[in-house]
Amino acid sequence: MSRVVKEYYDAKAELEWNRLVQDAYHQLEYIVHMHFLGKYLPKKGLILDAGGGPGRYTLELAKKGYHIALLDLSPKSLEIAKREIKNAKVEDNVKKIVEGSVVDLSEFGNDSFDGVLCLGTLSHLIDKAEREKAAGELVRVAKKRAPLFISIINRYGIYRTILQRLQHLLTDPTHQELISEGLHHAHYSHPLEPEGGFTDAYFFLPSELRELFESKGVQTLEMATCEGLSSHLQEPTNALYNDKTKWNRWLKILLQSCNDPCLLGSGEHVLYVGRKRS
């Protein structure tokens, strides 16, 4: 994983901590993840949050009584995680906090974890060999029959984002690799992508994510679009939040449908849930 990714998340660590709660639309990613974690995680156990950033999921799972190991590339993000873990008084349940990359999980032994999370991090491995190695490492450290939860940034969703608000990328030669291969290289010196631009990223096809983990000996259980039927509909989703009766009804509809294969190509993020074969 590149230095530019580490620097990006160091600079935006507080923003990343707040990203999933900044509004109703962004909460959906968190809500969908927690829905499937609740469905497939064992009732107790040791969980790896690989690439967990400032620890939003580590904290929530620790509150639920799980034992957690948190790994992330960004020291600034881990500082926030330590702060929030302390504030929540769940230090006893967070067994290890490690600065490192998902490409190298040698800190952990084979068959160590009752569940493995890697939510978003694989999309910052722009080299295919690194993606393959990271997937193998995530499977290696999971116990036999343990669930794995892997989410990525969806290439089709990025195309929709380009249509919606980044139309200049369609004719910008520095971004043609994104259009043709799903690869994005940070262009912070580019006049159309200043300081606020995105870091290095690889945008997966949903089928590619599934094939990657099945090739490592994982049984696919479910896949879901993290924003579900709300994908790319930020304004109406946020407006709906003001009426809690309607919001709760919409969440029920969204959670019932987010794993429909018809929706997998539309969302900004896709979640893969698998189980390591025995």
Q: What is the pLDDT of residue 175?
A: 75
Q: What is the pLDDT of residue 169?
A: 79
Q: What is the pLDDT of residue 188?
A: 53
Q: What is the pLDDT of residue 165?
A: 82
Question: Looking at the 3D structure of the chain, how many domains does it have?
Answer: 1
Q: What is the pLDDT of residue 25?
A: 97
Half-sphere exposure of 97 (CA within 13 A, CB side): 24
Q: What is the pLDDT of residue 1?
A: 59
Locate tokens 């490690």: which residue?
A: 98
Q: What is the pLDDT of residue 190?
A: 42
Residue 250 near residue 139, CB atoms below 8 Å: no
Q: What is the pLDDT of residue 4?
A: 87
**What is the length of the chain?**
278
Q: What is the pLDDT of residue 266?
A: 87
Q: What is the pLDDT of residue 187?
A: 67
For residue 80, the domain's CATH number is 3.40.50.150
User: Which pTM value belongs to this model?
Assistant: 0.94
Q: How far apart are CA 230 and CA 118, in angstroms?
A: 23
Q: What is the pLDDT of residue 130?
A: 97
- 3-class secondary structure for the chain? CCHHHHHHHHHCHHHHHHHCCCCHHHHHHHHHHHHHHHHHCCCCCEEEEECCCCCHHHHHHHHCCCEEEEEECCHHHHHHHHHHHHHCCCHHHEEEEEECCCCCCCCCCCCCECEEEEECHHHHCCCHHHHHHHHHHHHHHECCCCEEEEEEEEHHHHHHHHHHHCHHHHCCHHHHHHHHHCEECCCCCECCECCCCCCCEECECHHHHHHHHHCCCEEEEEEEECCHHHCCCHHHHHHHCCCHHHHHHHHHHHHHHCCCHHHCCCCCEEEEEEEECC
Domain enclosing residue 171, as ranges: 3-276
Q: What is the pLDDT of residue 121?
A: 96
| Cross-strand pairs, 151 | 119, 271
Per-10-residue mean pLDDT of the chain, 278 residues long, equals 86 94 96 98 98 97 98 97 98 97 97 98 96 98 98 93 84 79 72 60 95 98 97 96 97 97 92 95
